[in-house]
Structure formats: structure tokens, C-alpha cells
Structure 1
Amino acid sequence: MTKLSIPGKLFLAGEYAITSPGHTAILAATSMGLTIDISTATTTSSVRSNIIPTPWHFDITKPIQIGADTWRYVQAAIKIVQDYQAFQCQPITSQVQLTIHSTLNGPIGKLGLGSSSAVVVGIVSALNVHFALNLSLLTRFKLAGLAHYFVQKNGSLGDIAASTFGGVISFNSPDLSQLVDLDQPWINPAVIDQPWPNLQITPLAWPAQWRILLGATHESADTKTALQNLTLSSSFLTASQDCVAESIAAITASDYPAFVKALQRNQSLLQATLPAGYVTPKLAQLLANLGTHAGKISGAGYGDNGFAVVMDDATTLITNWQAAGLMTLPMTIFPENEVNHE
């Protein structure tokens, strides 16, 4: 049996603009994520999870049907690897048993660290290791990204990149409209080996003394709903790019005061652009209590979480966040370009 550790993700800057192809966001891969066990099965294949009560049984040597149930992301991830291997004339021919254990969801609610994206990255990575497919990180990103995109019907794939590449990354979103027709029943695996317009993934050296604190609301946010009927102006996109460029420069130079200002500017831009519901009462408390620390809302807003980057013990910040009903968790950055397996 092989066990793999797959990171979650945390958006640090560039949210919403990243949904427009060619624009940039900064993401961190978090060690809080999920593990996947994979082993050879004797009869049929199966997937089990600690958050889905009923296992899914299937025959991996036959075409996978993607349903509308809770296994749809897993089904899409297996199907895209299955199709790509057939396209490469190296079809998968033996059954597997997969077990997913996630710390990203629980009885008290989601943490907003990208559970569905970590699952598709994990399935692709597990099949790659188990069958010795020797898929590059970029190919694994593309496989997981297409599977997730097809099920969700939108998204920048930044969360997929963070969970695939690890570390802290600068991510330019690809223009998938030139590659994938979502009105078609499935994806042509040939697009995986093609260049993807606008895609750029660049590792960033995160300063060793900067620690990330997550402030989780346990209020689930729906990015798809948040993006409906939202038109992002060219001035917003330009201003977001400037904020992200300032953030990258600050990270690269380990310039904490500049990072504080860059995140403040990005947060103010988002609040000036998005509907009032973007900042929930708990997220308002998260922002109000940042003080002199770097931080902002992460991701779509409307719930989920925010973060602070600290260089001290942040005792007052933690106390105030907890008093506001925020679950406060220290985040460890998952190692760059590494998917752990035993």
C-alpha cells in the first residue's frame, strides 16, 4: 500500500482577478490537507472516504460515468487519467482500492482550504505513483485541473496548482475556453499535451520568519454563486495585478512592511469592487483585529476564511479572533514540488 499526503490551499492575493485568464494570484499550499492510501484490489476497484458514508465501487478497466453525487470529483479524476493513459496507448489494466482521509471538512464545517481540488490532485497523484506512470508535475496539474474544471464548470485552477506544486506560488490563470468546450460530454485528452495559453506557475521563496495564521469562519462560501452576474472592470484587473506584483516583490525581498501595505491595498480593492455580502460579520471582525499584521480575506469571501502573516506570537490577535467566533489555526506551508508518499 502507498500513502500520499496532499496539501490544501490558501489564496494570499489576487482573488477574483485570477478568474480572468492571464491574471495573477499568490497561493500557499498548506500542510493541512488530506491523505490517500492506494493498493491493488483483486476483483473490483473501490474508493472510501472519512467524509462520505457510502463507498463507490467501479471497474477501472471500463469507461467511468460521472454522476451528480458526492463522488463526482473522484470519478472525473479517475476518468481523465484513464482516458489520458489510453490516449498514450498505455491503458490501466488492474483494479485499485483507494481510501481518502480529509482534515479539510468536518462536523463543525468546512475550513475553506480547497477540499475538492485536493481530492482530484490526490487521485491523480495516487494513480501516477501506483501505476508508475511517471507523469510530470505539469501533466498532473493539467489532468487534475481539467477534471475539476469539467465538474465545477468554472475556476482559475489556482487551487489545483497549489495542491500540485506545493510551497508558495505565483499563478497566472490559463485560458481554458480555447481548449475545452463545456457543452461537450467530456474532454479530449489531447489538450493535456498542448501548450495552455497564459498559464504560468512560479515558485516563490517564502520568508522563514513569516508564519501564517488561518481565521476560519466555518461558513461555507460558494465561489460559483459569488461569480454569477459579476463583471470585473479592466481597471480592477489592472489594479489587482499591481497589488499582486507588490506582494511578490515584498515576499522576494522579505519586506514585511511592504507586504502589509500590498495586502491592505488588495483588500481595499476587493471591498470597493464586490457586493457588501463579500465581508460577512465574522470576516469584518477578522479584518478589524489585524492591527499592524499583514492579512486579508482569502478566496471568494462570503464566508470561509481569512489569514494573518505574523512574526510575533500574535497573542492579542488570536484572542480577539477567537472572541469573534473565528477558529484560529497555525498553517504550515507544504514543501515545494513534493507529494509525500510511503
Structure 2
Amino acid sequence: MDRALSAPGKLFVSGEYAVLWGGVARVAAVAPRTEAYVRRREDARVHVCLEEGTLAGSVTPKGVRWAREVPQGFLFVARALDEALRAHGRASQGFDLAIAPSAVGPNGQKLGMGGSACATVLAAEGARYVLEERHDTLKLALLAHTLGQGGKGSGGDVAASFAGGVLRYRRYDVSPLVDASNGGRLGAALVESPSVDVWRLPVPRVAMAYAFTGESASTKVLIGQVEARLEEVGRRAFVARSDTVGQSVEEGLAGGDFRAFTEAVTAQHALLLELGPLETEAMRRVLSMASAYGCAGKLSGAGGGDGCILFAPDAEARAELCKGLEARGFHTLLLEPESGVRGETHVDARLRAWMDALV
């Protein structure tokens, strides 16, 4: 039994930080996609093949018994496999899982499009398939990714990679699942727990793009810094304002008055900057150019690097903006909403080769 899979990356459209504190985020699932390949074994061994190398172990009802300490680069995938086996809750055959590296920019830096969340979703869905389970992959991936981040993160990136499209999302409380996992009741808890608050929005009628600034940022570190500066009362006030602006952004995605939409996007960006120095000089240059081309934009994600999501009234204006940005050294991507995690008919040759090389 084997299966090829792929899942998209993500970009936040609105609601960054607010979603951590009970607010609503809008998140887009976007290319480039990441591919994976999973294959069941005849024995009880497990192998995870990544670009960094291979991690081996053996299956148990309480997770994988890894042969060595899990390296940082394998952390999210390993956690997803552990939780999938805990949800399964009984002896099973082993399997091998290979996941391609996430996309990088021209200089080899990560693009900041949710690579760890995408890998977590692929691992959770791949394990569910070979274990022949019917549990909720999204809930399990949210659990694994939250644990991998030490409790930080909203899960919006996980939801986008799983469900696809442009989503309205509210943070899911995984603490009951954590307790259930520790108590040997994860399979039942995945069935009994509330549904994830996620809704797919209509396909945007504005053209979207992404500009990478050439600087990568640590989401976990930035979240910690912001939360250390903002007390509970301030967080509640921020969430109320963010939700109001986010609703205007959502309405603007449907088309109509692009000027009003630009004002909403600009307001969302300005609101994020109230949290601290999240905007870099490169971001300022990108957004200044977007304005000069009659387009709109904002930082996407935690800030401090990575890039900006850009909006244009039509495809022609988007093409001109991206051409101008590329001429000034910025890496750009044209964006269209992508479908969520899915099976593929073709196996990435690299992934098959990694797996065939296993002893």
C-alpha cells in the first residue's frame, strides 16, 4: 500500500496575532505545493526521509520508538507520526514516509509560507492512510504542530494546508487532545472533540501576489516578544479592532471598490505595526512600490522578515507590479488559491529514490 500526496503552503491575509488571542484570521492556501510519498512496510519499522537525511524507529501503540534523538528538522513530522500512532492505539505494520523540501527563494532561504505546517499535514495524512484510519487529519495535525511549537502558533497555517482555498479561521483549542493523548484516549477524543472553526471563502476577485524580502524570520521568537509586551487588556482591544478591519478585508476580496479594499488592507498592516517593529526596510520598499503601482499590500505572518502579500485590481496590474519588484531584486510569486492536501497520481522521483535506498 502506497500513496503520493501534496499540500500547499499558506499566507495570512488578515488577523495575524489576533488569531492567537481569540480573533479571526483569513488565510490563503497557495503554491508552491510540497510533495510526499508514504509506503507501508511488512515489518514494524518506520523511516522518515527528508532532504536532511533519514530518521528510523519502530511503531508502538504509544508512538514511534525512535532509534535516536529526533533532530530539529524532523521535529514536526516525528510528532505527527507519534500522535497518529497514539490515535490508532494498537499494534500495526510500519511504514516509510518521504517529504520533499519546502520551496526556497533564489538565495536558498525559506520563503515563510508555512513549511512546517505543510509537512505536519502531509505526515498526519500519510500516516492516517497507511494505518487505514478515519480520524480527523486536521485536528491531529493541529495537535502535532502545536506541540512541536511548544504551544505557540495559531494553527491557521495548518488549516490552510489541510483545507485549501481562502479560509476564515479561529484558533482551535488542542488542550483536551493533549490530555487525551497523554491518557491513551486520543482516538476517541478526535471523534468527540468539537469541530474546527474554519470556513472556506469565495474565490477572491482581486489578483494576489507575494514578494519575498530575502530575510527569514522566526515566528516563535516574534510571537514571544509581542506577547511579552502586550497585556491581556491590550490583547482584547487589539482583537476587536483586528476583527473589524479583517471583515472589511474579507468583503473587499469579493471585488468591488478596490480603493476601499486598499484602505482596509493598509489599516490591517498599520494595526500590526502597533505591536512592535515587525516591518523591515525591505518590506517598506515593497509596500511603497505596491502603492505606486495602484496596488495594496501588507506583511503576511508574524513579520520581522519573510515577505508581503500583495493585491492588485486585475491580473495586468499584478504583472506590472511584479515586473517592477523583480527588477529591483525582489523574488515574487503570482498567487491563486490552491486546493488542500490531496492524493497525486505521480510520485516525485526523488522521494521514491530516497525510499528505495532504505535498507
Q: TM-score, normalised by structure 1?
A: 0.86
- The match for 1:244 is 246
> Contact conserved, 2:8 with 2:161, CA < 8 A, in 1?
yes
* Matched residue, 2:49: 48
Displacement of 1:186 after TM fit?
A: 8.7
SS in 2 for 1:334: coil
**Correspondence for 1:59:** 58
SS of corresponding position for 1:110: coil
1:9/1:186 Cα in 2 relative to 1: closer, same or farther (>3 Å)?
farther
Could you tell me how far 1:104 is from its partner in structure 2? 2.5
Aligned to 1:173: 171
Aligned residue for 1:317? 321
CA contact (8 A) 2:298 2:308 kept: yes
Q: Which amino acid aligns with 1:159?
A: D
Q: Which residue matches 1:268?
A: 270
Whole-angstrom CA distance in 2 between matches of 1:251 and 1:92: 48
Conserved in 1, the CA contact under 8 Å of 2:206 and 2:255? no
Structure-2 residue corresponding to 1:149: 146
1:26 matches 2:26: yes
Amino acid aligned to 1:218: G
- Deviation of 1:124 after TM superposition, in Å, equals 1.0
Percent of residue pairs identical: 26
Corresponding residue for 2:207?
Answer: 211
Q: Look up the equivalent residue of 1:317 and give its one-letter code.
A: L
Match for residue 192 of structure 1?
190
- 1:190-233 deviations in whole A, cap 9, x for unaligned? 54334349x510110123x5332110123111112112213143
Residue 102 of structure 1 corresponds to 101
Amino acid at match of 1:226: L
Structure (1 or 2) with the greater helix fraction: 2
C-alpha distance 61-255 of structure 1, shift in aligned 2 (>3 A)? farther
Q: CA separation in 2, counterparts of 1:338 and 1:205?
A: 19
Of 219, 223, 237 in structure 1, the residue corresponding to residue 219 of structure 2 is 223
- 1:202 partnered with 2:199: yes
- Judging changes above 3 Å, is the alpha-carbon distance between structure 1 residues 206 and 256 closer, same or farther for their aligned structure 2 residues? farther
Conservation of the 8 A alpha-carbon contact between 1:282 and 1:324: no
User: Residues of 1 paired with 2:169 and 2:184: CA distance?
Assistant: 23
CA-based RMSD of the aligned residues comes to 2.6
Give the counterpart letter for 1:118 in structure 2: C
Aligned twin of 1:119: 119
Q: Offset at 1:256? A: 3.5
Deviations 1:268-303 (A, max 9, x none): 1112x1222x11111111111112213211001100
Cα 1:186/1:248, change in 2 over 3 Å: farther
1:256 aligns with 2:243: no
Distance in 1 (CA, whole Å) between partners of 2:40 and 2:113 is 30
Please list the CA deviations of residues 53-99 of structure 1 after superposition, one character each: whole Å capped at 9, or x if unmatched: x211111246325735321111100011100111xxxx351121211
SS of 2:329 mapped into structure 1: coil
User: Structure 1 residues 31, 318: CA separation in 2 closer, same or farther (over 3 Å shift)?
Assistant: closer
**Equivalent pair of 2:206/2:253 in contact (CA under 8 Å):** no
Stretches of structure 2 that go unaligned for 5 or more consecutive residues are 346-359
Structure 1 residue 326: Cα displacement: 1.8
Alignment gaps of 5+ in structure 1: none
Residue of structure 1 aligned with 2:335, choices 313, 323, 331: 331
Closer/same/farther in 2, CA of residues 20 and 186 from structure 1, 3 Å limit = farther
Name the CA distance, whole Å, in 2 between partners of 1:256 and 1:3: 40
Q: Provide the C-alpha distance between the structure 2 equivalents of 1:93 and 1:284, rounded to a whole number of angstroms.
A: 53
